[in-house]
Amino acid sequence: MNEKVLNHPLITHKLAILRDINTGTKEFRELVTEISTLLCYEAMSDAKLEEVTIETPLEKMETGKLNEDNYAIVPILRAGMGMVDGIINVIPNAKVGHIGLYRDEETLEPIEYYYKMPDGISNREVLIVDPMLATGGSACATINRLKQDGVCRIKLLCIVAAPTGIKTIEDNHPDVEIFCAVVDRELNDVAYIMPGLGDAGDRVYGTK
């Protein structure tokens, strides 16, 4: 199993508000940002630090610093954009790439319509962000595309995951760690996560 679930009272509390149908757009966005920041802290727990010398007001000292240029954030459009600020709170100098996918109505396979990555993406650790991991199709397609570009260090951050989506990633990309706030029960017949929180993109952008 390569998923890490943030089982924490603060996460449960924030998720309860996030899921609520009565939570408005502003609060929904803020909660997505807050939860994303917490996910990023967990995902960065194994980050490698570079030894540097700094000078405090009292003396010089040896310490570790993160080379933020080694990281890129890749939101899956459009809902993934709602998580970017939460990650940038932790890694403010990380570069940001974008991938856009839509589902073919006949084959149900994800079709790429936009792809733009920072220079040197193959040398960076990439954090893919998407609030919902449902079937796992879009996340899997994103990982495939990044690996085609030579990326070999990838983590997937999502807020709500379904067992189906986790299995899709584990079966196809066992090297990719999944960080999520919660694993929900199942998918319904139109691939919405149950009990879920509805369409994350619509709720982030207030389009419904």
Active-site residue, from 19, 29, 103, 153? 103
Q: Write phi, then psi, for 83 (nearest 5 degrees).
A: -95, -10
Single-letter residue type at 12: T
Mean pLDDT by 10 residues, the chain (208 residues): 88 96 96 96 94 96 94 95 95 96 78 94 97 95 96 97 96 97 94 93 88
Pairing of strands 153-161, 50-55: unpaired
Active-site residue, from 69, 78, 153, 199? 199
CA atoms within 13 A on the CB side of 94: 24
Look at residue 106 in the predicted model and tell me its pLDDT. Answer: 73
Instruction: Pick the closest to residue 84 from 29, 27, 20 (CA basis).
Output: 29
Question: Could you confirm whether 107 is annotated as catalytic?
Answer: yes
Look at residue 59 in the predicted model and tell me its pLDDT. Answer: 96
Question: Could you confirm whether 78 is annotated as catalytic?
Answer: no
Total of domains in the chain: 1
Angle at 179 between CA 174 and CA 180, to 5 degrees: 125
Instruction: Pick the closest to residue 43 from 205, 203, 178, 200 (CA basis).
Output: 178
Look at residue 5 in the predicted model and tell me its pLDDT. Answer: 95
Identify the CATH number of the domain in which residue 100 sits: 3.40.50.2020
Which residues touch 78 (CB under 8 Å, ≥6 apart)? Answer: 100, 201, 205
Active-site residue, from 46, 107, 119, 189? 107
Q: Which helix H or strand E contains 77, and what residues bound it?
A: strand 71-77
Domain residues for 42?
Answer: 3-205
Look at residue 103 in the predicted model and tell me its pLDDT. Answer: 78
